[in-house]
């Protein structure tokens, strides 16, 4: 049975897509079979992999059209055989509205993945910063949620509010969902405010914060601008190393490591 991980946050621009793309690649290069699903109508995953043209079949059909099989919706990654994508293809606002009108239950994605995505070891969901029906579907389908957070002054406040909302969602839609951890992103150790907030996070939330911190690193947006993960773009850079380390931390923390894998 696959482990489904959703990247979620209340705030936008905190590194959800970047983390989803790179953790998916880290698991894939480590020998796991991974499906990365873009649940954000912005479609950032598609751009992170350099896909510019329209996508005929993608997340819209995943949520609304069962006559198209999951295999028809997936694109094999150019970066290797272990990574498949389902890209968001909400090209107009009316397409997004149409999906939101059709998808009235938060269990649609969960049911579809349970029926058709059992061959994967990991399913990674990139969610949007909202509590729309799309975000609820992503949360309901997941086993683990990762909360990316930037070390900024409003971060703790926003996290507290998110955790409150999260408990409500958990009680209502998915009691089995666990928080995998808070992931500190875009950390700049030269900034006093980052160091202070990072310290506060560990003092307040202890082991709920991943030991791995994702540094602010030039190669990460560079890779994305070139349509690549940082792992394929600069394998030995600090950005790439951080995501590989995070993948190992997740495997260890949840004792998920099957024998065939190499990370």
Ligand X SMILES: Nc1ncnc2c1ncn2[C@@H]1O[C@H](COP(=O)(O)OP(=O)(O)OP(=O)(O)O)[C@@H](O)[C@H]1O
Residues that bind ligand X (CB under 6 A): 9, 12-18, 40, 42, 44, 129, 185-186, 214, 216-217, 220-221, 224
Q: Is residue 24 a contact partner of residue 83, using CB atoms and an 8 Å limit? A: yes
Bridge partners, 183 (sequence order) = 148
Residue 25, helix vs strand vs coil: helix
Stretch in the footprint of Mg ion (CB under 5 A) among 14-22, 55-63, 106-114, 160-168:
14-22
Q: Cβ closer to Mg ion: 16 or 194?
A: 16
Bridge partners, 84 (sequence order) = 35, 76
Q: Distance between the two ends of the chain, CA-based, in angstroms?
A: 19
Q: Cβ closer to ligand X: 9 or 70?
A: 9
Q: Is residue 18 a contact partner of residue 224, using CB atoms and an 8 Å limit? A: yes
What, of ligand X, Mg ion, none, does residue 227 touch, CB below 5 to 8 Å by kind? Answer: none
Q: How far is the CB of 193 from Mg ion (least distance, A)?
A: 23
Q: How far apart are CA 70 and CA 115, in angstroms?
A: 9
- Binding test (CB under 5 A) with Mg ion, winner from 8, 9, 16, 181: 16
174 part of the interface to Mg ion, by CB under 5 A: no
Q: How far is the CB of 239 from Mg ion (least distance, A)?
A: 17
Q: Cβ closer to ligand X: 40 or 84?
A: 40
Residues 217, 252, 74, 111, CA torsion sign: negative
Q: How far apart are CA 240 and CA 138, in angstroms?
A: 26
Q: Cβ closer to ligand X: 13 or 80?
A: 13
- Binding test (CB under 5 A) with Mg ion, winner from 4, 17, 22, 150: 17
Q: Cβ closer to ligand X: 70 or 134?
A: 134
Q: Is residue 231 a contact partner of residue 220, using CB atoms and an 8 Å limit? A: no
């Amino acid at each position: 049975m696959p482990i489904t991980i959703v990247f979620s946050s209340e705030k936008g621009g905190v590194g959800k897509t970047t983390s989803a793309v790179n953790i998916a690649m880290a698991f894939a290069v480590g020998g796991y079979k991974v499906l990365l699903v873009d649940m954000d109508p912005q479609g950032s995953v598609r751009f992170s992999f350099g896909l510019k043209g329209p996508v005929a079949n993608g997340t819209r059909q995943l949520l609304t059209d069962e006559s198209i099989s999951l295999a028809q919706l997936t694109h094999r990654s150019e970066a290797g055989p272990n990574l498949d994508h389902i890209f968001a293809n909400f090209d107009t606002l009316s397409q997004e509205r149409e999906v939101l009108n059709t998808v009235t239950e938060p269990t649609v994605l969960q049911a579809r993945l349970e029926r058709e995505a059992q061959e994967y070891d990991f399913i990674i969901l990139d969610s949007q910063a909202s509590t729309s029906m799309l975000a609820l579907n992503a949360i309901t389908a997941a086993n683990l949620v990762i909360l990316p957070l930037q070390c900024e002054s409003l971060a703790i406040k926003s996290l507290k509010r998110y955790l409150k909302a999260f408990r409500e969602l958990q009680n209502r839609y998915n009691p089995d969902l666990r928080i995998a951890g808070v992931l500190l992103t875009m950390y700049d150790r030269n900034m006093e405010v980052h160091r202070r907030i990072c310290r506060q996070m560990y003092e307040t939330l202890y082991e709920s914060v991943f030991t791995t911190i994702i540094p602010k690193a030039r190669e990460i947006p560079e890779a994305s601008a070139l349509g690549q993960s940082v792992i394929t773009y600069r394998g030995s850079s600090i950005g790439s190393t951080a995501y590989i380390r995070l993948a190992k931390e997740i495997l260890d923390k949840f004792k998920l490591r099957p024998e065939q894998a190499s990370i």
